[in-house]
Protein backbone atom coordinates (compact mmCIF):
# COMPACT_ATOMS: atom_id res chain seq x y z
CA UNK A 1 0.00 0.00 0.00
CA UNK A 2 2.59 2.56 1.06
CA UNK A 3 4.95 1.66 -1.77
CA UNK A 4 2.09 2.21 -4.23
CA UNK A 5 1.25 5.55 -2.60
CA UNK A 6 4.87 6.64 -2.79
CA UNK A 7 4.97 5.59 -6.46
CA UNK A 8 2.00 7.87 -7.10
CA UNK A 9 3.59 10.72 -5.20
CA UNK A 10 6.79 10.37 -7.23
CA UNK A 11 4.91 10.12 -10.52
CA UNK A 12 3.08 13.34 -9.69
CA UNK A 13 6.12 15.26 -8.44
CA UNK A 14 9.15 14.09 -10.39
CA UNK A 15 8.05 14.99 -13.91
CA UNK A 16 11.27 16.67 -14.99
CA UNK A 17 14.81 15.39 -14.58
CA UNK A 18 16.21 11.88 -14.31
CA UNK A 19 15.35 10.40 -10.92
CA UNK A 20 15.41 6.84 -9.64
CA UNK A 21 14.42 5.46 -6.24
CA UNK A 22 15.44 2.02 -4.99
CA UNK A 23 13.12 0.62 -2.32
CA UNK A 24 14.24 -1.49 0.66
CA UNK A 25 13.11 -4.64 -1.19
CA UNK A 26 15.51 -3.87 -4.06
CA UNK A 27 12.92 -2.75 -6.61
CA UNK A 28 13.57 0.53 -8.44
CA UNK A 29 11.19 3.23 -9.62
CA UNK A 30 12.32 5.67 -12.32
CA UNK A 31 10.68 9.07 -12.84
CA UNK A 32 11.05 12.21 -14.90
CA UNK A 33 11.65 13.07 -18.52
CA UNK A 34 15.21 11.74 -18.52
CA UNK A 35 16.78 15.16 -19.00
CA UNK A 36 19.68 16.45 -16.95
CA UNK A 37 22.06 14.65 -14.59
CA UNK A 38 20.85 11.40 -13.04
CA UNK A 39 20.00 11.37 -9.35
CA UNK A 40 19.67 7.97 -7.67
CA UNK A 41 18.31 7.54 -4.15
CA UNK A 42 18.20 4.37 -2.05
CA UNK A 43 15.99 3.59 0.94
CA UNK A 44 17.04 0.95 3.46
CA UNK A 45 14.33 1.32 6.13
CA UNK A 46 11.05 -0.51 5.26
CA UNK A 47 9.09 2.11 7.22
CA UNK A 48 10.25 4.97 5.00
CA UNK A 49 7.63 4.74 2.21
CA UNK A 50 4.86 5.32 4.77
CA UNK A 51 6.75 8.13 6.51
CA UNK A 52 7.57 9.89 3.24
CA UNK A 53 3.99 9.76 1.97
CA UNK A 54 2.62 11.16 5.24
CA UNK A 55 5.28 13.85 5.77
CA UNK A 56 7.84 13.98 2.96
CA UNK A 57 9.79 17.06 4.09
CA UNK A 58 10.37 15.71 7.59
CA UNK A 59 10.83 12.06 6.66
CA UNK A 60 13.32 12.68 3.86
CA UNK A 61 15.42 15.00 6.03
CA UNK A 62 15.41 12.57 8.97
CA UNK A 63 16.28 9.64 6.74
CA UNK A 64 19.23 11.54 5.28
CA UNK A 65 20.37 12.36 8.82
CA UNK A 66 20.03 8.72 9.91
CA UNK A 67 21.68 7.31 6.80
CA UNK A 68 18.60 5.25 5.86
CA UNK A 69 18.26 7.39 2.72
CA UNK A 70 21.43 7.57 0.66
CA UNK A 71 22.15 9.41 -2.57
CA UNK A 72 24.64 8.15 -5.14
CA UNK A 73 27.83 10.23 -4.83
CA UNK A 74 26.11 11.98 -1.90
CA UNK A 75 24.66 14.40 -4.49
CA UNK A 76 22.44 16.27 -2.03
CA UNK A 77 22.42 19.36 -4.23
CA UNK A 78 21.20 17.36 -7.23
CA UNK A 79 18.52 15.52 -5.26
CA UNK A 80 17.11 18.59 -3.49
CA UNK A 81 17.24 20.65 -6.69
CA UNK A 82 15.02 18.06 -8.38
CA UNK A 83 12.70 17.76 -5.40
CA UNK A 84 12.30 21.50 -4.75
CA UNK A 85 12.01 22.45 -8.42
CA UNK A 86 9.41 19.81 -9.19
CA UNK A 87 7.44 20.54 -6.02
CA UNK A 88 7.39 24.23 -6.92
CA UNK A 89 6.08 23.49 -10.42
CA UNK A 90 3.61 20.70 -9.67
CA UNK A 91 2.52 20.99 -6.06
CA UNK A 92 1.18 18.10 -4.02
CA UNK A 93 -1.06 15.32 -5.38
CA UNK A 94 -4.70 15.35 -4.32
CA UNK A 95 -4.30 12.73 -1.60
CA UNK A 96 -1.68 14.84 0.22
CA UNK A 97 -3.51 18.17 0.08
CA UNK A 98 -5.67 17.59 3.19
CA UNK A 99 -2.52 16.89 5.22
CA UNK A 100 -0.91 20.09 3.96
CA UNK A 101 -4.09 22.03 4.72
CA UNK A 102 -4.02 20.75 8.30
CA UNK A 103 -0.39 21.80 8.65
CA UNK A 104 -1.21 25.29 7.38
CA UNK A 105 -4.19 25.54 9.73
CA UNK A 106 -2.01 24.61 12.69
CA UNK A 107 0.70 27.16 11.99
CA UNK A 108 -0.65 29.63 14.55
CA UNK A 109 -0.19 27.05 17.28
CA UNK A 110 3.31 26.24 16.06
CA UNK A 111 4.20 29.94 15.93
CA UNK A 112 2.71 30.91 19.29
CA UNK A 113 5.77 32.37 21.00
CA UNK A 114 5.14 33.78 24.47
CA UNK A 115 8.32 34.86 26.22
CA UNK A 116 8.98 31.53 27.95
CA UNK A 117 8.57 29.56 24.73
CA UNK A 118 10.55 32.10 22.71
CA UNK A 119 13.46 31.66 25.14
CA UNK A 120 13.36 27.87 24.70
CA UNK A 121 13.22 28.18 20.92
CA UNK A 122 16.20 30.52 20.85
CA UNK A 123 18.23 28.24 23.12
CA UNK A 124 17.55 25.26 20.82
CA UNK A 125 19.59 26.86 18.03
CA UNK A 126 21.63 29.79 19.25
CA UNK A 127 22.95 28.22 22.44
CA UNK A 128 24.73 25.46 20.57
CA UNK A 129 28.49 25.38 21.03
CA UNK A 130 30.12 28.62 19.99
CA UNK A 131 32.81 26.53 18.34
CA UNK A 132 30.22 25.28 15.85
CA UNK A 133 29.51 28.77 14.53
CA UNK A 134 33.22 29.49 14.25
CA UNK A 135 33.40 26.66 11.71
CA UNK A 136 31.33 28.42 9.04
CA UNK A 137 30.52 32.05 9.88
CA UNK A 138 32.69 35.08 9.14
CA UNK A 139 34.96 36.52 11.82
CA UNK A 140 32.20 38.88 13.01
CA UNK A 141 29.73 36.00 13.39
CA UNK A 142 27.10 37.51 11.14
CA UNK A 143 24.40 34.83 11.01
CA UNK A 144 22.16 36.52 8.44
CA UNK A 145 22.15 37.35 4.76
CA UNK A 146 25.28 39.05 3.43
CA UNK A 147 25.16 41.78 0.80
CA UNK A 148 27.19 40.94 -2.29
CA UNK A 149 27.57 44.44 -3.70
CA UNK A 150 30.18 42.92 -5.98
CA UNK A 151 30.03 39.28 -7.16
CA UNK A 152 33.63 38.48 -6.25
CA UNK A 153 33.33 39.60 -2.63
CA UNK A 154 34.51 37.32 0.13
CA UNK A 155 32.02 36.38 2.81
CA UNK A 156 33.73 38.81 5.22
CA UNK A 157 33.46 41.68 2.73
CA UNK A 158 29.82 40.94 1.93
CA UNK A 159 28.85 40.77 5.60
CA UNK A 160 30.58 44.09 6.25
CA UNK A 161 28.78 45.58 3.24
CA UNK A 162 25.47 44.38 4.71
CA UNK A 163 26.11 46.19 8.00
CA UNK A 164 27.11 49.43 6.30
CA UNK A 165 24.16 49.29 3.90
CA UNK A 166 21.82 49.00 6.88
CA UNK A 167 23.64 51.79 8.72
CA UNK A 168 23.16 54.03 5.68
CA UNK A 169 19.42 53.35 5.70
CA UNK A 170 19.28 54.16 9.39
CA UNK A 171 20.99 57.53 8.81
CA UNK A 172 23.06 57.05 11.96
CA UNK A 173 24.61 60.11 13.57
CA UNK A 174 27.00 60.19 16.55
CA UNK A 175 25.27 59.94 19.90
CA UNK A 176 22.06 58.44 18.56
CA UNK A 177 20.40 55.87 20.81
CA UNK A 178 20.04 52.63 18.89
CA UNK A 179 18.15 49.50 19.90
CA UNK A 180 19.27 46.25 18.27
CA UNK A 181 16.44 43.70 18.58
CA UNK A 182 17.91 40.22 18.30
CA UNK A 183 21.50 41.43 18.51
CA UNK A 184 23.16 38.06 17.93
CA UNK A 185 26.80 38.01 18.96
CA UNK A 186 26.95 41.80 18.82
CA UNK A 187 28.46 42.42 15.40
CA UNK A 188 25.90 44.94 14.16
CA UNK A 189 25.76 46.85 17.44
CA UNK A 190 29.54 47.02 17.77
CA UNK A 191 29.84 48.27 14.18
CA UNK A 192 27.30 51.05 14.80
CA UNK A 193 29.08 52.06 18.01
CA UNK A 194 32.61 51.90 16.59
CA UNK A 195 32.14 53.27 13.06
CA UNK A 196 29.16 55.60 13.55
CA UNK A 197 29.41 56.78 17.16
CA UNK A 198 26.02 55.37 18.17
CA UNK A 199 24.99 54.49 21.71
CA UNK A 200 23.74 50.93 21.29
CA UNK A 201 21.56 48.68 23.42
CA UNK A 202 21.20 45.15 22.11
CA UNK A 203 18.78 42.49 23.35
CA UNK A 204 18.86 38.74 22.88
CA UNK A 205 17.35 35.67 24.53
CA UNK A 206 20.45 33.56 23.92
CA UNK A 207 22.76 33.22 26.92
CA UNK A 208 25.69 32.33 24.65
CA UNK A 209 25.16 35.38 22.44
CA UNK A 210 24.64 37.67 25.44
CA UNK A 211 27.89 36.60 27.09
CA UNK A 212 30.00 36.81 23.93
CA UNK A 213 28.55 40.15 22.77
CA UNK A 214 29.41 41.82 26.07
CA UNK A 215 32.85 40.20 26.13
CA UNK A 216 33.51 41.57 22.65
CA UNK A 217 32.39 45.05 23.72
CA UNK A 218 34.72 44.91 26.71
CA UNK A 219 37.65 43.61 24.66
CA UNK A 220 37.31 46.34 22.01
CA UNK A 221 36.82 49.15 24.51
CA UNK A 222 33.25 49.81 23.42
CA UNK A 223 31.38 48.75 26.54
CA UNK A 224 30.56 52.40 27.35
CA UNK A 225 28.73 52.70 24.00
CA UNK A 226 27.47 49.16 23.37
CA UNK A 227 25.75 47.05 25.98
CA UNK A 228 23.86 43.82 25.42
CA UNK A 229 20.99 42.62 27.60
CA UNK A 230 19.49 39.18 28.13
CA UNK A 231 15.96 40.42 27.57
CA UNK A 232 12.90 39.89 25.42
CA UNK A 233 12.12 42.86 23.18
CA UNK A 234 8.66 43.01 24.75
CA UNK A 235 10.27 44.02 28.04
CA UNK A 236 12.34 46.89 26.63
CA UNK A 237 11.38 50.40 27.77
CA UNK A 238 12.49 53.91 26.86
CA UNK A 239 12.86 55.78 23.59
CA UNK A 240 15.35 55.20 20.77
CA UNK A 241 16.35 57.27 17.78
CA UNK A 242 16.92 54.16 15.72
CA UNK A 243 15.86 50.51 15.87
CA UNK A 244 17.56 47.76 13.89
CA UNK A 245 16.51 44.14 13.77
CA UNK A 246 18.36 41.70 11.52
CA UNK A 247 17.25 38.09 11.19
CA UNK A 248 15.00 38.18 14.26
CA UNK A 249 11.55 38.81 12.77
CA UNK A 250 11.50 35.20 11.50
CA UNK A 251 11.22 34.15 15.16
CA UNK A 252 8.38 36.51 16.15
CA UNK A 253 5.48 34.36 14.88
CA UNK A 254 2.43 35.56 12.96
CA UNK A 255 0.22 35.74 16.10
CA UNK A 256 2.65 38.32 17.54
CA UNK A 257 3.23 40.56 14.52
CA UNK A 258 0.80 43.21 15.70
CA UNK A 259 2.40 43.37 19.15
CA UNK A 260 5.85 43.53 17.56
CA UNK A 261 5.07 46.55 15.39
CA UNK A 262 3.19 48.23 18.23
CA UNK A 263 6.33 47.88 20.36
CA UNK A 264 8.56 49.25 17.59
CA UNK A 265 6.26 52.26 17.31
CA UNK A 266 6.24 52.86 21.06
CA UNK A 267 10.04 52.63 21.36
CA UNK A 268 10.83 55.02 18.49
CA UNK A 269 11.15 58.76 18.92
CA UNK A 270 8.82 60.86 16.77
CA UNK A 271 11.51 61.27 14.11
CA UNK A 272 13.02 57.81 14.62
CA UNK A 273 13.79 55.22 11.96
CA UNK A 274 13.59 51.42 12.15
CA UNK A 275 15.14 48.92 9.77
CA UNK A 276 13.66 45.41 9.84
CA UNK A 277 15.63 42.79 7.88
CA UNK A 278 13.90 39.43 7.48
CA UNK A 279 13.75 36.39 5.26
CA UNK A 280 10.47 36.38 3.35
CA UNK A 281 8.51 34.46 0.77
CA UNK A 282 7.62 36.02 -2.58
CA UNK A 283 4.40 34.02 -2.57
CA UNK A 284 1.24 33.85 -0.45
CA UNK A 285 1.44 32.88 3.25
CA UNK A 286 2.47 29.30 3.96
CA UNK A 287 3.85 27.20 6.79
CA UNK A 288 7.27 26.22 8.07
CA UNK A 289 8.99 23.08 6.83
CA UNK A 290 8.45 20.35 9.46
CA UNK A 291 12.15 19.49 9.29
CA UNK A 292 13.21 23.08 9.96
CA UNK A 293 10.61 23.46 12.72
CA UNK A 294 11.70 20.28 14.51
CA UNK A 295 15.48 20.36 14.16
CA UNK A 296 16.62 23.87 13.29
CA UNK A 297 14.29 26.77 14.16
CA UNK A 298 11.34 25.71 16.34
CA UNK A 299 8.70 28.41 16.32
CA UNK A 300 10.23 30.05 13.26
CA UNK A 301 8.36 31.19 10.16
CA UNK A 302 9.26 32.94 6.90
CA UNK A 303 6.51 35.50 6.22
CA UNK A 304 4.87 36.67 3.05
CA UNK A 305 5.03 40.42 2.58
CA UNK A 306 1.24 40.58 2.55
CA UNK A 307 0.91 39.30 6.12
CA UNK A 308 3.70 41.58 7.33
CA UNK A 309 2.02 44.64 5.86
CA UNK A 310 -1.39 43.62 7.17
CA UNK A 311 0.04 43.54 10.69
CA UNK A 312 2.07 46.74 10.23
CA UNK A 313 -0.61 49.02 8.80
CA UNK A 314 -2.59 49.70 12.02
CA UNK A 315 0.43 50.95 13.98
CA UNK A 316 1.06 54.51 12.75
CA UNK A 317 4.36 53.64 11.10
CA UNK A 318 5.16 54.91 7.64
CA UNK A 319 6.71 52.35 5.32
CA UNK A 320 9.47 54.50 3.86
CA UNK A 321 11.16 51.84 1.79
CA UNK A 322 10.99 48.14 1.03
CA UNK A 323 14.02 46.53 -0.59
CA UNK A 324 14.01 42.94 -1.84
CA UNK A 325 17.25 40.97 -1.88
CA UNK A 326 16.96 37.93 -4.12
CA UNK A 327 20.00 35.68 -4.49
CA UNK A 328 22.18 37.28 -1.82
CA UNK A 329 21.15 34.71 0.79
CA UNK A 330 21.69 31.82 -1.62
CA UNK A 331 25.27 32.99 -2.05
CA UNK A 332 25.67 33.45 1.71
CA UNK A 333 24.43 29.93 2.41
CA UNK A 334 26.75 28.50 -0.25
CA UNK A 335 29.70 30.09 1.55
CA UNK A 336 28.46 28.71 4.88
CA UNK A 337 27.99 25.21 3.43
CA UNK A 338 31.43 25.10 1.87
CA UNK A 339 33.09 26.33 5.06
CA UNK A 340 31.09 23.91 7.20
CA UNK A 341 31.93 20.91 5.03
CA UNK A 342 35.61 21.88 5.04
CA UNK A 343 35.36 21.57 8.83
CA UNK A 344 33.00 18.59 8.95
CA UNK A 345 35.45 16.53 11.04
CA UNK A 346 35.57 19.26 13.66
CA UNK A 347 31.76 19.48 13.69
CA UNK A 348 31.52 15.72 14.15
CA UNK A 349 33.96 15.93 17.05
CA UNK A 350 31.72 18.57 18.68
CA UNK A 351 28.55 16.51 18.10
CA UNK A 352 28.46 13.47 15.80
CA UNK A 353 28.13 12.41 12.15
CA UNK A 354 24.34 12.55 12.33
CA UNK A 355 24.54 16.21 13.37
CA UNK A 356 26.85 16.92 10.42
CA UNK A 357 24.34 15.40 8.00
CA UNK A 358 21.51 17.34 9.65
CA UNK A 359 23.36 20.63 9.40
CA UNK A 360 24.41 20.00 5.81
CA UNK A 361 20.83 19.16 4.85
CA UNK A 362 19.65 22.40 6.49
CA UNK A 363 22.22 24.57 4.70
CA UNK A 364 21.70 23.02 1.26
CA UNK A 365 17.90 22.98 1.50
CA UNK A 366 17.82 26.63 2.56
CA UNK A 367 20.19 27.69 -0.21
CA UNK A 368 18.06 25.99 -2.83
CA UNK A 369 14.86 27.52 -1.48
CA UNK A 370 16.36 30.92 -2.33
CA UNK A 371 17.52 29.75 -5.73
CA UNK A 372 14.47 27.75 -6.77
CA UNK A 373 11.40 28.48 -4.65
CA UNK A 374 10.54 32.16 -4.25
CA UNK A 375 12.40 32.84 -1.02
CA UNK A 376 13.94 36.30 -0.62
CA UNK A 377 14.99 38.85 1.99
CA UNK A 378 12.90 41.92 2.79
CA UNK A 379 14.29 45.11 4.30
CA UNK A 380 11.58 47.39 5.66
CA UNK A 381 12.47 50.97 6.57
CA UNK A 382 9.86 52.40 8.96
CA UNK A 383 9.21 55.67 10.80
CA UNK A 384 6.40 57.53 12.60
CA UNK A 385 7.03 60.36 10.09
CA UNK A 386 7.14 60.25 6.33
CA UNK A 387 9.98 62.76 5.88
CA UNK A 388 12.67 61.36 8.18
CA UNK A 389 14.81 60.11 5.29
CA UNK A 390 15.37 61.57 1.80
CA UNK A 391 12.65 60.96 -0.75
CA UNK A 392 14.86 58.92 -3.08
CA UNK A 393 17.47 56.22 -2.54
CA UNK A 394 20.21 58.45 -3.93
CA UNK A 395 21.59 59.01 -0.44
CA UNK A 396 22.52 55.32 -0.30
CA UNK A 397 24.67 55.58 -3.42
CA UNK A 398 26.49 58.96 -3.48
CA UNK A 399 27.75 59.80 -6.97
CA UNK A 400 31.16 60.65 -5.53
CA UNK A 401 31.37 57.22 -3.91
CA UNK A 402 30.19 54.80 -6.56
CA UNK A 403 32.06 51.97 -4.85
CA UNK A 404 30.85 52.96 -1.38
CA UNK A 405 29.68 49.50 -0.39
CA UNK A 406 32.88 47.91 -1.59
CA UNK A 407 35.06 50.49 0.16
CA UNK A 408 33.11 50.17 3.39
CA UNK A 409 33.57 46.40 3.35
CA UNK A 410 37.31 46.49 2.85
- Asked if 121 contacts 251 with a C-beta cutoff of 8 angstroms, the reply is yes
**Residues 307 and 107: beta-carbon distance below 8 Å:** no
* Among 124-128, 150-154, 213-217, the least confident range: 124-128
For 10, 173, 244, 370, the CA distances from 167, given in Å and listed in that order, are 47, 10, 9, 25
- List, in sequence order, every beta strand (DSSP E) within 189-264: 199-204, 226-230, 240-246
Task: Enumerate the domain spans of the chain.
Answer: 2-105, 115-409
Tell me which of 31, 145, 183, 366 is the catalytic residue.
Answer: 366
Q: 3-class SS at 56?
A: helix
Q: Do residues 42 and 70 lie in contact, with contact meaning Cβ atoms separated by under 8 Å?
A: yes
Q: How far apart are the C-alpha atoms of 390 and 170, rounded to whole Å? A: 11
More confident residue, 329 or 299: 329
**Count of other CB atoms within 10 angstroms of residue 407:** 12
Strand order in the sheet with 28-31: 28-31, 18-22, 38-43, 69-71
Domain at 115-409, CATH from 3.40.50.150, 3.10.129.10, 3.30.200.20, 3.20.20.140: 3.40.50.150
Q: Quote the CA–CA distance of 235 and 304 in Å, as a whole number.
A: 27
- Residue 301 pLDDT exceeds 90: yes
DSSP string, 313-358: GGGS-EEEEEEEE-SHHHHHHHHHHHHHHHTHHHHHHHS-HHHHHH
Q: What percent of the chain shows pLDDT beyond 70?
A: 90
Per-residue pLDDT of 371-409, as tens digits, reads 999 999 999 999 999 999 999 999 998 764 545 455 555
Average pLDDT over residues 89-109: 66
Rounded (10°) CA dihedral 187, 192, 198, 199:
-10
Q: Coil, strand, or helix at residue 396?
A: helix
As a whole number, the mean pLDDT across the chain is: 91
Mean pLDDT of 80-87: 94
Task: Report the pLDDT value the prediction gives residue 233, as an integer from 0 to 100.
Answer: 96
How many CB atoms lie under 10 A from the CB of residue 219?
A: 10
Q: Are 232 and 118 in contact (CB under 8 A)?
A: yes
Q: Do 274 and 268 contact (CB within 8 A), yes or no?
A: yes
CB count in 10 Å sphere of residue 311: 20
The pTM is what? 0.92
Query: Distance between CA atoms of 364 and 241, rounded to whole angstroms?
Result: 38
Other CB atoms within 10 Å distance of the CB of residue 71: 16
* β-strands 28-31, 18-22 pairing: antiparallel
- Active site annotation includes 366: yes
At 303-348, the pLDDT tens digits run 999 999 999 999 999 999 999 999 999 999 999 999 999 999 999 9
Q: State the Cα–Cα distance between residues 401 and 405, nearest whole angstrom.
A: 9
Q: How far apart are CA 230 and CA 210, in angstroms?
A: 6
The pLDDT value given to residue 404: 47
For CA atoms 227, 204, 170, 141, give the dihedral sign: positive
Q: Is 242 helix (H, G, I), strand (E, B) or coil?
A: strand
User: Does the pLDDT of residue 121 top 80, yes or no?
Assistant: no
* CA nearest to 204, candidates 271, 251, 138: 251
3-state DSSP assignment of residue 203: strand
Amino acid sequence: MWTTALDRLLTHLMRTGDFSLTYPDGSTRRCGDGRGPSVAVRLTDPALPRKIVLNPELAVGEAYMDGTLSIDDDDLYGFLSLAIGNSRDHGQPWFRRPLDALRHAGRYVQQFNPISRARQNVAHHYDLSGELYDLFLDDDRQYSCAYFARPDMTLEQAQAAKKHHIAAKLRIEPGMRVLDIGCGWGGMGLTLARDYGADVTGVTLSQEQHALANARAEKTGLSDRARFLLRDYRHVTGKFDRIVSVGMFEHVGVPHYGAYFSKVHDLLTDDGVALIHTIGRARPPGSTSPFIAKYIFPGGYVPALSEVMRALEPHALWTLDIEVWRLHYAETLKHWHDRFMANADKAAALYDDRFVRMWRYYLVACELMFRLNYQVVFQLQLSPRQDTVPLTRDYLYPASQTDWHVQAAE
